[in-house]
DNA sequence: TATTGCTTGTTCTCAAATTCACAAACACGG
DNA sequence: CCGTGTTTGTGAATTTGAGAACAAGCAATA
């Protein structure tokens, strides 16, 4: 019987946000309980997998009934460490950086963008109205910003060539995790978790399954 | 001995774009051959895994020497179905849609954005200079656009509520694969491969590993 | 042509993840 | 209070993936 002290498998961790998202949606529509079958449908996975995943957090369901939406939401949030907002700083104010800054999807889900930096002095001073008028600052200010604003997450939106120096700056400034959109492997200390999102890579993976068209559906 | 007719494992497919990226970079810097160790380093994976992955495409290396960069690039491209450009249409011209349209990273890697559509008539007519002046059209034109321009990929950048109707429109219009940024599970025919990228989900996964700080590094 | 050194391709073993299948447990109605 | 129907939680079996280890094979050199 897995208890909260036990390890949560990586594969499960990657799915917890899906459940969280589905639970928030259920709460919004007024549902008070949910079965593993329903939750599986909303998250796009298999019901047995949902039950096994949730069992790693503890025994929070009621047999014959299902899971309490609000209670389970809290447990999933707690496991993911989603207690309160985590401030984000974006490094790089090119097209992608501007895009991410204006995109509201971060703040909506508890990750407000509180600062933007760039190495180009001509970009410093620009205000982004979509993020409450955050003003672009110079990358040299990074350490000061992270400390004073308590920034937890750094997002790298620089060109590939500058990504490593951006990472170094973020690590030096003291952020606790990094999300990179640059298509390069970064050298980052083991103590700081980081992930890479590469949009072109996603399209190339699709390309493969499209070429094999019909024969195989993409794995969820 | 795996041959090109055999199945390529899903896990391998997800890494092929990384190798492709690394190979392109090697070619750019003038390297003509590369070892599995070097390629592994550039892609951020284990060397044994590189060799095993590549062996699914065929026996394209030379023992004692390594892989020919140009030749291997061609083989990886062919396996991924990256023969020539694949046109992309973006559905949704809100913040994220505009962001993606202006972001040059798609075209650079063989996925030019040739059209943008939105359901809001007030947005129709806007030109995006970053993508050679592509003009936003109404979503009702989608089928015509896809047919006339030979669009292969649809990118969904709408709010979550509109994502399913966007997907339906794309499927009806005849696109061959779909990349969605909306945080919902889509109902799409098995014949059309699709993937979901959710930026907030990425941050939430990081949140977990950050909470478990230091004890576990995120799996690549 | 024989030897040496290096790197691939593949086999083998182990670990992780998925899926099935079902007993255990609860609510509810009679 | 008992039986029924439903849904969880979890062993067990299966599939998939990771990594180590090494024989096979090629180039280069003398």
User: Is A10 part of the contact surface with chain B (CB cutoff 8 Å)?
Assistant: yes
Q: How confident is the model at residue B5 (pLDDT cuts 50, 70, 90)?
A: very low
Asked whether the predicted pLDDT for residue B103 surpasses 60, the reply is yes
* Segment A195-203 mean pLDDT: 96
pLDDT value at position A103? 86
User: CA–CA separation, A131 vs A98, rounded Å?
Assistant: 11
Contact A155, A90 (CB under 8 A): yes
Neighboring chain A residues of B177 at a CB cutoff of 8 Å: 206-207, 209-210
Q: Which residues contact B79 (CB under 8 A, 6 or more apart)?
A: A208, B4, B8, B16, B57
Contact A86, B207 (CB under 8 A): yes
Using a 7 A cutoff on CB, list residues near strand D: A 1-2, 34-37, 47-48, 51-52, 54-55, 59-67; B 9-12, 45-46, 48-49, 51-52, 62-65
Asked whether the predicted pLDDT for residue B217 surpasses 50, the reply is no
Asked whether the predicted pLDDT for residue B202 surpasses 90, the reply is yes
The topology under which CATH files domain A88-201 is: Rossmann fold (3.40.50)
Please answer yes or no on whether B102 and A99 come within 8 Å at the CB atom: yes
User: CA–CA separation, B13 vs B55, rounded Å?
Assistant: 12
Q: How confident is the model at residue A161 (pLDDT cuts 50, 70, 90)?
A: very high
Per CA to C1' distance, which residue is closest to D10?
A1
Neighboring chain A residues of B41 at a CB cutoff of 8 Å: 185
% of chain B exceeding 90 in pLDDT: 87
Asked whether the predicted pLDDT for residue B160 surpasses 70, the reply is yes
Per-residue pLDDT reduced to its tens digit, B83-95: 999 999 999 999 8
Residue of B nearest to A209 (CA): B193
Asked whether the predicted pLDDT for residue B119 surpasses 80, the reply is yes
Asked whether the predicted pLDDT for residue A169 surpasses 90, the reply is yes
Best of B193, B198, B213 to mutate (most A CBs within 10 Å, chain A):
B193
User: CA–CA separation, A44 vs A66, rounded Å?
Assistant: 18
DSSP-assigned beta bridge partners for residue A144: none
Of the partner residues A20, A185, A195, the one whose CB lies closest to the CB of residue B218:
A195
* Segment A40-44 mean pLDDT: 97
Distance, CA of A63 to C1' of C27, in Å = 9
Asked whether the predicted pLDDT for residue B219 surpasses 60, the reply is no
Angle at B218 between CA B216 and CA A177, to 5 degrees: 95
Strand order in the sheet with A194-196: A127-128, A134-138, A113-118, A88-91, A153-156, A177-180, A194-196
A146-150, A210-214, A215-219, B11-15: range with lowest mean pLDDT: A215-219
Neighboring chain B residues of A41 at a CB cutoff of 8 Å: 185
Of the partner residues A21, A99, A130, the one whose CB lies closest to the CB of residue B103:
A99
Contact A167, A189 (CB under 8 A): no
pLDDT value at position B215? 45
Q: How confident is the model at residue B216 (pLDDT cuts 50, 70, 90)?
A: very low
User: CA–CA separation, A76 vs B90, rounded Å?
Assistant: 33
Asked whether the predicted pLDDT for residue A91 surpasses 80, the reply is yes
Q: What is the DSSP letter of A188?
A: -
Distance, CA of A51 to C1' of C29, in Å = 28
Q: Reduce the DSSP state of residue B178 to 3 states and report it.
A: strand
The torsion of the CA quartet B51, B52, B53, B55, rounded to 10 degrees, works out to 80
The CA–CA distances, whole Å, from A214 to A217, B4, B191 equal: 7, 18, 5
Where does B10-78 sit in CATH, by number? 1.10.10.10
Best of A107, A109, A207, A214 to mutate (most B CBs within 10 Å, chain B):
A207
Q: What is the DSSP string of A89-129?
A: EEE--SHHHHHHHH-THHHHTT--EEEEEES-TTTTT-EEG
Nearest to A187 by CA among A151, A155, A163, A161: A163
The number of residues in chain B equals 220
The CA–CA distances, whole Å, from B126 to A96, A194, B187 equal: 19, 37, 30
Domain boundaries, chain A: 10-79, 88-201
pLDDT value at position A105? 86
Distance, CA of B195 to C1' of D12, in Å = 32
Of the partner residues A14, A43, A200, the one whose CB lies closest to the CB of residue B205:
A14
Asked whether the predicted pLDDT for residue B2 surpasses 50, the reply is no
pLDDT value at position B212? 85
Asked whether the predicted pLDDT for residue B3 surpasses 50, the reply is no
In which residue are the tokens 């407000």 written?
A: A112
* Segment A147-166 mean pLDDT: 97
Please answer yes or no on whether B96 and A109 come within 8 Å at the CB atom: no
Question: Taking a contact as any Cβ pair under 8 Å apart, which residues of chain B between 168 and 207 contact chain A?
Answer: 176-179, 183, 185, 190-191, 193-195, 197-207
Nearest to A100 by CA among A91, A27, B51, A140: A91
Contact B124, B145 (CB under 8 A): no
Per-residue pLDDT reduced to its tens digit, B27-72: 999 999 999 999 999 999 999 999 999 999 999 999 999 999 999 9
Asked whether the predicted pLDDT for residue B1 surpasses 70, the reply is no
Q: Which nucleotide is closest to the Cα of B52 by its C1'?
A: C9
Residue A100: both structure tokens together: 């991410």
Alpha helices, DSSP H, located in chain B: 10-28, 36-43, 47-55, 69-80, 95-102, 105-108, 142-149, 160-173, 199-211
Check whether domain A10-79 has CATH 1.10.10.10, yes or no: yes
Q: Reduce the DSSP state of residue A64 to 3 states and report it.
A: coil
């Amino acid at each position: 019987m897995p208890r909260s002290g036990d390890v949560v498998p990586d594969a499960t961790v990657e799915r917890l946000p899906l459940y969280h998202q589905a639970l928030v949606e259920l709460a919004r529509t007024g549902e008070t309980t949910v079965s593993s079958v329903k939750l599986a449908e909303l998250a796009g996975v298999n019901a047995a997998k949902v039950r096994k995943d949730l069992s790693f957090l503890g025994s929070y369901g009621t047999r014959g009934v299902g899971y309490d939406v609000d209670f389970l939401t809290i447990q999933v949030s707690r496991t993911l460490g989603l207690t309160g907002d985590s401030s984000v700083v974006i490094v790089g104010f090119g097209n992608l950086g501007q895009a991410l800054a204006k995109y509201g999807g971060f703040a909506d889900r508890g990750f407000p963008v509180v600062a933007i930096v760039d190495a180009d002095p001509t970009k410093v001073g620009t205000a982004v109205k979509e993020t409450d008028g955050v003003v672009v600052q110079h990358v040299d200010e990074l350490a000061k910003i992270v400390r004073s604003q308590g920034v937890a997450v750094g997002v790298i939106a620089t060109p590939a060539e500058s990504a490593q120096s951006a990472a170094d700056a973020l690590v030096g400034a003291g952020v606790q995790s990094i999300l990179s959109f640059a298509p390069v492997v970064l050298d980052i200390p083991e103590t700081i978790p980081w992930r890479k999102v590469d949009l072109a890579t996603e399209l190339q993976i699709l390309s493969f399954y499209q070429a094999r068209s019909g024969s195989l559906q993409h794995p969820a």
